Every structure is written in C-alpha cells, then in structure tokens.
Amino acid sequence: MTAVVPETKVTDVTAADPPPEIIPARHRRSPVKDYGALVGIAVLAAILLLWAPSSLSSFRLSNLGRYCALALASMGIGLAWGRGGMLVLGQGVFFGLGAYAMAMHMKLEVAGPEGVPDFMTLYGDGTMPVWWEPFRSGTFTVFAIIFIPAVVSLLMGWAILKRRVKGAYFAILTQAMAVAFAVLLEATGKETGGFNGLNTFSTVFGYNLFDPEVKQNLYRVAAGLVIVFLLILWQLYRSRYGELLVATRDAEERIRFLGYDPANIKLVAFVTAAVMAAVGGAMFVPIVGIISPLDVGASASILLVAGVALGGRTSLFGPVLGAIAVGYGRSTLSESFPTQWTYFLGGLFVVVILLLPGGVASIGSKLAGLRKREVLT
Amino acid sequence: MRAKRVLQPLVLVLALALFAAACGGSDEPEASSATETASSESTTTETETETASEVSDDICVEGDTVKLGFLNSTSGVMAISEQTVRDSLTLAAEEINADGGILGKQIEVIEEDGQSEPTIFAEKINKLLTEDEVAAVFGGWTSASRKAMLPVVEGANGLLFYPVQYEGLEASPNIYYTGATTNQQIIPAMDFLASEGVETLFLAGSDYVFPRTANKIIKQYAEELGIEIVGEEYVPLSSDDWTTQVAKIAEAQPDFVFNTINGSSNVGFIKAYDEAGLGPDNSPIISVSIAEEEAPSMGVDLTGQYASWNYFQSVQSDTNSTFIEAFQAKYGDRPTSDPMQAAYVGLYLYRNIVEKAESFCVEAVNAASDGVTFDAPEGLVTIDGSNHHIAKTGVIGQINADNQFDIVWTSGEPIEPDPFLEDYAWWDPNS
Amino acid sequence: MDALTTPFLTGTATGAILLMAALGLTLTFGQMGVINMANGEFLMVGAYVAYLTQQVISSAGVSIIIAIPIAFVVAGLLGLVLEATVIRWMYDRPLDTLLATVGVALVLQQLAKDIFGAQGDPVVLPGWLDARINVFGYEWPLRQLFTILLAVASLALLNALLRYTSFGRRIRATVQNRQLAETQGVPTRNVDRMTFFLGSGLAGVGGVAISLISGTNPTLGTSYIIPAFLVVVLGGVGQLKGTVLAAWGVGVATAFLTDWTSGSMAQVMTFALVVAMLTLRPQGLFTVRTRSLA
C-alpha cells in the first residue's frame, strides 16, 4: 500500500516536509527513561577504545581515527537534519573552519616561534597575514576551533532561519556556502595554501606526530570524543529541548502558535551541529596530516550526509555507524573495486533514501516490531 | 511499553555489534594476517636496520622478489592522466623483470588508487609503506597529492618517485623528482620566447600553486629579458569558462600567451581563444601542460601552437623508438608523453641506483644516487644527489597537423636541476 | 565603452547557459517540489549527444543543429526514466529527492566516464559560428549570440506552451493548486511526467550549448548544478520571468566581478550576493500567489 499518488500539498514547497517513513524520534511517555541507549554507548566505547587499539594495525587504527573525526561531524548532521529537519549540505564549511584553525596552529608550530609557514615564503612574499598571528597560541586555537564556527553558524543561521528559509531552500543555500567556501580557499593560496591546502606538519601541541604513541593517543581522543558527543546527544535528545526540536521539525506552525520561536529552537541545533563538525575537522587534521579545499567542499559535505542517511538520520547511533561504514567502504571497497565504488556509493544513496529513509538503524526497530506509529501532523 | 523502550536501543546495539563483527569479520583474514605479518616483519626490519649499520651486506629486502608500490589515481578527475603513468610504470616493471629484475629480485607490484584526492594519497602511501612494506613507491601527479604524501613518506622513511613536472621549491630526501623543475621547463620556454623576439606576453593559468609559482618566475625573468607582461588571468580549477578572460587577451593583443592552465580547463580556454579570433598567427600559445594526449581533445585545431617539455614522442633516438614500440605493442596505438616517459625513467633509475648501491635500504640508495644515469628516451639523464632531481634537456615543440610536436628549439644539453633557482641572480623568492 | 560592453555581452551569454540549466529545475521544483540534482547530468548528456552527432555527421555546421532536437529527446527520455524509477516514489518527501538524485548523478557520471573516458571529447565549433561581430569595439564571438538565441528560443517556445496550449494550462493549474486541479479532472500524474520530460529535455539542449564552450566530460554538469539552483531559488520558484531575470543577473554580475577581481573571487562574491539577496527576500524575486500558509 505505498502511496503512489502524491497527495501532499506541494504548493508551499518551502515547508519542511515531515519525513513520514521515519520512525518518529522517540515516542516515550516520559523522557527520563531510555537508559538502554547507554548500554549501546558502553558497547561502542568498548569496541572503539579497548578492542580497536589492541587489535588493529597502526595504519588501520589511524584510518579508524579518521572515520571517527568524520563521525563527529555526522553526529551534528544527525541532530540538525534528523531531529531538526534542516538538511545541512554545507557542514564542510564548519568542518573546514575547525580543521583550518587546527592546521594553522600546527603549521606555525613547524615554523617555530617567530617563523612564517613555508608555503608563504615559497609561493608568496614571505609575509604572514595578521590574522594568522593569534594561532601561534594553542589556547587560542582550541578556543577558535569552537568559537569561530559557533559565531559564523550563529550569524548565518540567524540570517537564514529568522527569515523562515526552510526545506530545499535551506539545503541549497548551505550547499552554495560550501562551494563558495572551497573556492574562497582556492583563491587565497597565499594566505590559506590554496588548492594544496595545509600540510607537512610535524607536531601537534608539541607532540611528535610520527611517534606511534602519539598516533594512538590521537585516535583515542577522536574515539573518546565520539563517545562524549554520543552522551551529549543522548542527554539532549531526552531533554525537553530535544522534544521541542522534533516537534518543530514535524509541525513548525503549531510550535509557533504555542508561543515558541521555531527559529531559535532550530538555531540551537544548527550551531551545535556546526561546533560538532568543527571539532571533527580539528581532529581530522593531526590524524590525516592534510586539509585541503577538497575535504570541505560540496562533495565532501554530501559524503558526510550520505553516511548519516545510511546509518539513520534520526537515530542516536545511526550517524556514527554510517560515517564509519562509508569511510571504511571508501578505503576498503575502493582498494578492490576502484570504479565500482562510485556506482556503489551512488546506488547506496538511491536505495537507502528510496527504500530505507530511516537508515540501517530503522531495520532494527522494524524487526523488533516497534514499527512506526504514524507521524502526527 | 517499558519492554519496548529497553528493546529498541538493545536491538540497535545488537545491530551495532553485528556491524562491528561484520567489519571485523571481513577484515579478519586480511587485517589480522596483515597485522601479524606486519608485526613480525617490523621486528625483523628493526633488527635489520640495527644490524644494517654493522653488517653491510644486508639489503633491506628478503626473498626473491622486491615489492614496489604504484600509487596513481585510477578514479576521479585525474584518472585519465594518471592511468597513462600507471601504464608506462607497468611496462617498465615488466621489462625489468624480463631483464632479470633488480639485484636479481623480481618486482612484485602493489597497485593502489589515489582517487584524485590528496587525503586518499596520504592514506594509501601510508598503507604501502607501513602495511605492505614496499621498497619504494612510484606515482602522484598533482602538487596537492605530492604535498600530501611528503610528510608520510618522510615519517616512514620511505622512497617516492614522482614523475611530473612541477613548481619546484622542494627537495625531500625521501622523494626523487623525475619530471622537470621550473628551470628545466619554464625558463627554457622563456629563453625560447626571447629568441623569437617576443616583446609582450599574457599569462593565463589555473588558480593553483603551479601556475601561480610559474608566473611569479616568469614575471621576474621577463623583466630580466625585457619582455613586457601585458596581462595575468586565473580561473578556478573547477571552472571551464574562460570567455571573460579571453576577451582581455583579445584586447591586449600580446605577442604570445603563456598557458599554465591545468587539466580539462584547457579545453574551455582553447575554445574561447579560438572563437575570439585568436590563433598562432596573431597571439600564439606556449603551454606547459598540453602534450600529445591532450592536443587532439581540444575540439580546436592546435596546429602551430607550442609546448615546452623535456620529451616529445617525436624525439629522434634509438631508445625512444624502442620505448614507443614497446609501449604501443602493449597498449595499442596510443601516443607517448612527457609524464609517461618520466615515470618510465623513474623506475629504471631506481633499478640503476639500487644496483649501484647493491642495497634497497633508503640510506644506501640515497648515498648512491648521485651521478646515476640512464639512457632514457628523452636522452641521457643524470641524478643530482644533492636535490634528488635529474638533469634533463629542455625542448620546445610546435604542434603539427598529426597532433605531434615538431621540435623547434632545444637547450642543447641537459640542464642541471635547480629547484630553488639559486643560480639565477634575478630570482627573488620574496617579491 | 569596452570595459562595459565586454562583460555585459559575455555575461549575458553565461546567463543564457544558466537559464537553460535552470529552466528544467524551475519547472520540476515549482510544480512538484522535486529537487533534481541529476539535472546537471542531463546537461552532460546533451553535450555528449552533440559530440556523438558530430561523430556521425561529420559536418560540424549541420550536426550542431541536428543535435539540438536529439539532445532534447534523449535527455527528456532519461528524465522520464528517472521520474518513473526514483522520483515517483518520493513525491511525499521532496527533500529526500535531493539526496536520491545526488546518487543518480554519481552513477550517471561514472557511467559516462566508463563509456567515453574521463578526458573529454571535443565538439568542434561549426564554421558558420566561427566569426565575430563588432559591438562598440568589442569583437563579439558569434557563438555567444547563438547561445543567447538558443536560450531565447527555448524560452519563447516554453512560454507559448505554458500559455496557449491545454497542456500548459494543466501545468499552471497543477503548480498553483494541485488538489483543485485534480478535482477539475487534470491528470496531475501525467502532467508531472510530461513536465519532467520537458524540463530534462531543456537541460539537454543547454548541454549542446555548453559543449561549444568547454570540454565534453563526465563532470561537466557538476559545475552548473549549484549555480542553476541558486538561479531558481533567486528567481522565485515556478516563475519563468524570475528565473530569466535571475539567470541574466547572475551571469552579468559574475562577468563584471571577474573583470574587476579574479575568476575565483567572482564566484565567491556572486554566491555571497545571492545568499544575501535571499536572506532579504527568501521567496525570491517573484512569488507564486498561493493560498498556503507561511
């Protein structure tokens, strides 16, 4: 009994369309319980923090570290898109802001106390833009990784959401921002490294990047942050705010009539998602050793969303598992089937979105007989 | 209801565990064995390197084969270019194996796909060096891919042979650069222009490190030569639309256009150039990235335009005809080009260095590399041990109706590599 | 004078290309709320049709004309297939069509890469277009004029179709109020299909025009899809006049900014301008009057 005939009123295309096939967030009577998820987090923590470091080679482990960095950004997308109904196609911007902040600091570490990053001498005139200067400080860098994306997303979100830009408009605008950001980076080669991006680091906060011990610890930090973010989201989802966010997604007008400002509710999710992406970006750089416009542009942003869609956008674990699966697939499947990988990725998008909009996470719920109660609209 | 609430997360956890098991499971045969061998091998290599200083006859590779990694993009936007490099590398490996291998060891090639993304290049070279423990890696194309691989190859103390002309200003002890640096391609091109009596020059490039650096050099050298730069335009790598910029060229009417555009943007540039009524008779182009392969794919007849390289298929030598014959016997009637030849040369140079050093160890290879030669299709090439570049002859070709290049100018003898342009008094890196 | 005419004319030609890319999107987005990210690949298909036609009919002057209707039909049929296999199942969640069609776009690109190779195949400029006319001192390439005329012709035909035929009336009825149209006996499903065919076909024609300015390669569509969507959004959904004005504006603005700054900065600044405009006028330059809330 799939509805073939479109019966929605598509006249107002800007309205956020409720995703009907998706299991509505949690239909709990009381938001206090749901400790089962904690068990899941514990299992994941055990796998990521205990099993993986002891049984994976350093190469596989650093790959997993990279997937974890991407998973941090994916979790933000889960919050903004899955719970908030905002399809964010430009998370690369915030991922990039965090990553470049970190990379600038690491570049200055290589350059030494008074030094200038090598590429500025090689390709520019050897002078450093003033705005690089504060990134010599590690404390400022950590602050900047959180603060800059937060402010940028706040301003951006405020301008967009307050004007009630929703649905497809929102998605396209965010994607345009990712494109513009990547082109901007390419156009400012002397200041940001351009298309080559920032690379050739040796230390992070004084720790030698080539030291196996440091590499392991970098992985541990990334994996640890995944767990921390999961706990934060778990708490957020079961809070009153979490309920409000889902309600805004499903029936924004009603929320407005109830006296809330939906823009503010969504803004909180948007900014949180941006900060999560930035932290992911900041972890990505020391683990991978390079950040370039290719890692922050439109297609990188879409790949992040792909992971979330695969894992399950509304589920707590979906985005994390999806990000790890897409990263793993990209590394491993592409080793054996380089061209087929693109077909596979493309097919995955279509099949998952078409048949399983709740992602892999929804299979479990369906099997458990907890199949959807219809979305209340 | 309560049961359900507990059940749902539990099912998720179960799915998670299944996923982890599936991942681990699929990974198991490969990864666990890989880690085993890796750990066992790493201990042996450790003892090896320890003993290497004492026992000089240890050569860092055991058994009858030597593992080499080929890391090129076989997918993504760079695939078409890098596949040609992969092909000529494969040819060189087969030839060397048929000829008895390196130090009597047959080459065992491990291929990886860089997917046209620097991040993936960094990941894959890490895999090749640490998991597969190859003796050397051959590949990379874009500057971004080389920059991404550089810290990894230095950190793992491996070897990389990079086959493409590039913007210079780099010399890593772990990388051998078998393509041209700027004083072997850009500067000869300028010398050629000066010899042609060119007075005005327009610079057109992609917004990328190679064009930006090349143009910086060109501008300084042009001042030295008394050539006036009448315009400088860049277009993002992702863009094909050159119409507005070409209008400026048409307005400036330069004697020559220096083209440092990368990849497929060349098509948009050449088409806009053609439709604006420009051509070899009024404002000819000299390119540094259009070779035999690209020339026929522009949709515009390029006859009469120029390119600066170190090798053309039309180079007359016995080694070149042997190379072309072998290549076309294996891959059909395809043209050979500079980067392909440079990659081919790289593998042979590696063999020659190793056989001189009688060892695959990185330190031994680096100690022996200075002065190693190879009678390449482009002519005799010699490694400069101080910067790991090779001395190459600069040649300028003019495209003929068969999309081949007629050689119109050469530097006569191999030019010593000077990646930092230290021997050029007019060069000021900080201007 | 030159400093003004050159960017103005080249910008208008760029705008014409953007318009061809955006027309199909305006129709499908406006009518069905479907966000078809694979529309860029229909441009690519059109460009490859131009290339293949030229392989068959060696005269470049003739083949480019023949390629136009073929590109329209081929891309249109592909659009129908896309509608029947993917889009039709998702009319109740239009936002998801965005992601699903991204997947379709990836598959189509890889398919083109496997069939034609990644290098790109050249389409030769026909001799009768290889000329220039002098406009206030600027030697304006005839190809640009051809692009503009092609866009204007497509637009005029589309406009006539929408305005004067019963099919056009049905489309307009469906856009304005789907339920009401259905109650009046408009077969909205068929209208949807035909709109999809029309929109995709127009992108195919745009592809023919693009094949004359750049290489015909598998990633050709990707550089146009996001600017095209910005044009649609800026113009106001379902509004032909808005789309035309927005495409023209974006084209000319980009050309002037390129002239004043650089190609890269011009792209960044155009995007920033469009985003800024949209925060001022979220519904675009023009809006359809509907009775819906918000």
Instruction: Name the residue facing C120 among B247, B250, B264 (closest C-beta).
Output: B264
Size of interface A-B (CB pairs under 8 A): 178
C-alpha–C-alpha distance, residues C249 and C16, integer Å: 10
| Residue-wise pLDDT tens digits, A248-264 | 999 999 999 999 999 99
Q: Give pLDDT, residue B199.
A: 96
In a domain, B234, yes or no: yes
Placement of tokens 């190779």 in the chain? C117
How many structural domains does chain B have? 2
Q: Do C263 and B271 touch (CB under 8 A)?
A: no
Provide, as residue numbers in chain B, all residues whose Cβ is less than 8 Å from the Cβ of C222: 238
- Please give the helix or strand (H or E) that residue C182 lies within, else none: helix C178-183
- Cβ–Cβ under 8 Å, residues A171 and A89: yes
In a domain, B41, yes or no: no
Q: Do C223 and B240 touch (CB under 8 A)?
A: yes
Q: Give pLDDT, residue C287.
A: 65
Mean pLDDT by 10-residue block, N- to C-terminus, for chain C (294 residues)?
Answer: 82 94 88 88 95 88 92 96 90 85 92 81 86 87 94 94 90 84 88 91 94 86 90 83 93 92 88 85 68 40
C-alpha–C-alpha distance, residues C245 and C5, integer Å: 19
Task: Specify the CATH number for the domain of residue B90.
Answer: 3.40.50.2300
- Same domain? For B200 and B297 the reply is yes
Q: E strands, chain A, where? A: 198-199, 203-204, 207-208, 290-291
Residues of chain B with pLDDT under 50: 1-7, 9-56
Instruction: Name the residue facing B245 among C129, C139, C263 (closest C-beta).
Output: C263
| Residue-wise pLDDT tens digits, A124-174 | 788 899 999 999 999 999 999 999 999 999 999 998 888 888 788 889 889
In a domain, B425, yes or no: no
Reading the block at residue B183, the tokens are: 């004083």
Q: Do A10 and C88 touch (CB under 8 A)?
A: no
Q: Find the length of chain C.
A: 294
Spatial neighbors of B33 by CB under 8 A, at least 6 apart, are none
Which subunits have 3 or more CB–CB pairs within 8 Å of chain A? B, C
Task: Count CB atoms within 10 A of the CB of residue B290.
Answer: 24
Please give the C-alpha separations between residue A106 and each of A62, A205, A290, B169, B207, in angstroms, as whole numbers. Answer: 18, 7, 11, 21, 25
- Same domain? For B293 and B406 the reply is yes
CA angle in degrees (0–180, nearest 5) for B413-B369-B422 = 55
Q: Do C258 and B274 touch (CB under 8 A)?
A: no
Instruction: Find the domain containing A192 and state its range.
Output: 36-297
- Residue B33, judged by CB atoms within 10 A of its CB (0-12, 13-18, 19+), counts as exposed
How many structural domains does chain A have? 1
Q: Give the confidence band of A368 by pLDDT, cuts at 50, 70, 90.
A: low
Beta-ladder partners of B65: B106
Q: What is the ipTM of this complex?
A: 0.89
Q: Do B297 and C13 touch (CB under 8 A)?
A: no
Instruction: Give the distance from CA A370 to its chain's centroid.
Output: 28
Instruction: Find the domain containing B263 and state its range.
Output: 182-309+395-410
Instruction: Name the residue facing A187 among C99, C102, C264 (closest C-beta).
Output: C264
- Same domain? For B296 and B323 the reply is no
C-alpha–C-alpha distance, residues C137 and C267, integer Å: 27
DSSP string, B318-374: HHHHHHHHHHHHHH-S----HHHHHHHHHHHHHHHHHHHHT---HHHHHHH-TT-EE
Spatial neighbors of C261 by CB under 8 A, at least 6 apart, are C269
CA angle in degrees (0–180, nearest 5) for B301-B305-B308 = 135
- Same domain? For B269 and B403 the reply is yes
C-alpha–C-alpha distance, residues A290 and A345, integer Å: 24
Q: Give pLDDT, residue B373.
A: 95
Q: Give pLDDT, residue C288.
A: 55
In a domain, B271, yes or no: yes
From A136's Cα to the closest Cα of chain C, the distance in A is 28
More confident residue, B11 or A311: A311
Q: Do B243 and C144 touch (CB under 8 A)?
A: yes
In a domain, B108, yes or no: yes
- Same domain? For B146 and B80 the reply is yes
Q: Give pLDDT, residue C277.
A: 86
- Cβ–Cβ under 8 Å, residues B298 and C217: no
User: A325 — alpha (psi -120 to 50), left (phi > 0) or beta?
Assistant: alpha
Q: Give pLDDT, residue B57.
A: 62
DSSP string, C112-143: HHHHH-SS-B--PPPGGGS-EEEETTEEEEHH
From B41's Cα to the closest Cα of chain A, the distance in A is 13
- Residue B50, judged by CB atoms within 10 A of its CB (0-12, 13-18, 19+), counts as exposed
In a domain, A5, yes or no: no
C-alpha–C-alpha distance, residues C43 and C202, integer Å: 9
Instruction: Name the residue facing C132 among B233, B245, B277 (closest C-beta).
Output: B277
C-alpha–C-alpha distance, residues C159 and C153, integer Å: 10
Q: Do B127 and A321 touch (CB under 8 A)?
A: no
Q: Do B119 and A295 touch (CB under 8 A)?
A: yes
Any CB–CB contact under 8 A between C103 and chain A? Answer: yes
Instruction: Name the residue facing A339 among C110, C237, C267 (closest C-beta).
Output: C110
Do the bridges between strand B160-162 and strand B175-177 make them parallel or antiparallel, or are there none, so unpaired?
parallel
Q: Give the confidence band of A18 by pLDDT, cuts at 50, 70, 90.
A: very low
- Cβ–Cβ under 8 Å, residues A69 and A287: yes
In a domain, B51, yes or no: no
C-alpha–C-alpha distance, residues A346 and C201, integer Å: 23
- Same domain? For B208 and B304 the reply is yes
- Same domain? For B273 and B346 the reply is no
Query: What average pLDDT does range A200-211 have in this prediction?
Result: 91
Q: Do A59 and B127 touch (CB under 8 A)?
A: yes
- Same domain? For B262 and B400 the reply is yes
- Cβ–Cβ under 8 Å, residues A293 and C268: no
- Please give the helix or strand (H or E) that residue B399 lies within, else none: strand B395-399
